[in-house]
Amino acid sequence: MSQDHSFTVEQIEQYRNEGFIVVERLFDADDMARVDATIQQMTDQALGGDDFSKILELEPQPVDGKRVPRRIFNPYDQHETFRALAHDSRLLDKIESLIGGDFNLQHFGGPRPLIPNVGKYASLYELQSQAKAQMK
């Protein structure tokens, strides 16, 4: 029998009262290492081709001398690593405990996320760097 990763009654109550729950380290260091390796692999393959604009968007300026992705288009469709995270019980159990089992995960190409406590827009590279620093 698999482990239940649902929110506790107290967390659900907080969500209902406050409208949010902070989930720290939903995915572990091994999961994040797989994501990082996948992003690097996809970036290398995209840059080795003729037209990477259908696969990813790069940061306008190199970071540490390297071209880094700002956004990967349709990551779920492009690589099993992203599909595995989207179907992971650690994520799905939590969502289901809040809103029930009839839901559909979607993504969009909206604005870049804000870095918490800094108030500026973050690139994918910046968010990865922060996540790696927090894991140390």
> Could you give the residue ranges of the DSSP H alpha helices within the chain?
9-18, 29-48, 75-78, 80-86, 89-99, 124-135
Give pLDDT tens digits for 82-97.
999 989 999 999 989 9
What is the three-class DSSP state of 93? helix
> What is the pLDDT at residue 84?
93
C-alpha 69/C-alpha 77 separation (Å) is 17
At residue 36, does pLDDT exceed 80?
yes
Average pLDDT for the chain: 81
Question: Around Cβ 69, how many Cβ atoms within 10 Å?
Answer: 22
Closest CA to 26 of 7, 9, 1: 7
